Structure 1
Amino acid sequence: MRVTEKGQVTIPKPIRDKLGIGPGSEVEFVERGEAVEVVAKRLDETPQQRRERLQRHLDQMRGTIDLGGMTTDEFMDSLRGPRDDLDPR
């Protein structure tokens, strides 16, 4: 995406729609190491709208990880590795 002489860029419509960015919306630029994130401020979002948005994201993620039959505790242990304080060898 090209930056204009005035330092402006156009946020693509699908992203604006997904984040609810419209005329008068505020965005924030947040540095993350070598990258910069554009964060939309949702000042007018109600608690119910936040819950619905979270639920939509959770629904999109459902079924995206295969635990291979492991329980949640077994999966967390596989991520963290052995714990010396619980599993001395």
Structure 2
Amino acid sequence: MSIATVTSKGQVTIPKDVREELGLEPGTHLSFTRTESGDFVVSRASRSVRRLRGSIGYDGPPVTVEQMNDTIAGAAADARR
């Protein structure tokens, strides 16, 4: 069992074994959710889709929103057939 202590500033250092087990790295956001019994569950907070920006490279020519919408509509129509 791992134990942590709250400092006078309200900070907690998560024990190393827990950080490693959960894969927590500096900058990881945590979410605190209260259960019906009054306990709290700590989990990773949802990540914003914005952090994915630029993660997929594209070497082709620029396309407009209209071109993207047309391509999506075409693929949707093909999927319905």
TM-score by length of 2: 0.46
Structure with max Cα Rg: 2
